[in-house]
Amino acid sequence: MVDFAIIDILWRAMDGEVEPMAKHIEAGGDLPPDFRAFLAAHLRNELPKRPGNKRTFSQVQMEAGIVSQIRYIMRIMGCSAYKAQKLYLQMHPSMNEETLKTYWKKSRRRAKNRVSKPV
Q: Has residue 71 got a pLDDT over 60?
A: yes
77: pLDDT strictly greater than 80: yes
**What is the overall mean pLDDT for the chain?**
84
pLDDT digits (tens, 9 = 90+) for 45-66: 887 776 666 677 788 889 999 9
How far, in whole angstroms, is CA 8 from its chain's centroid? 12
Whole-prediction pTM = 0.54
Q: Please report which residue ranges of the chain form alpha helices under DSSP H.
A: 4-14, 19-26, 33-43, 57-77, 81-91, 97-114
* Residue-level pLDDT at 119: 47
Confirm if 54 and 16 have CB atoms less than 8 A apart: yes
More confident residue, 55 or 81: 81
Give per-residue burial for 82-95: e unless 16+ CB within 10 Å, then b: eebbebbeeeeeee
**pLDDT(93) > 60:** yes
Q: Is the pLDDT score of 116 beyond 60?
A: no
Residues of the chain with pLDDT > 70, as a percent, come to: 88
Provide the pLDDT confidence category of residue 115 given band limits of 50, 70 and 90: low
Report yes or no: 24 and 53 within 8 Å, Cβ to Cβ: no
Over residues 10-35, the mean pLDDT reads: 84
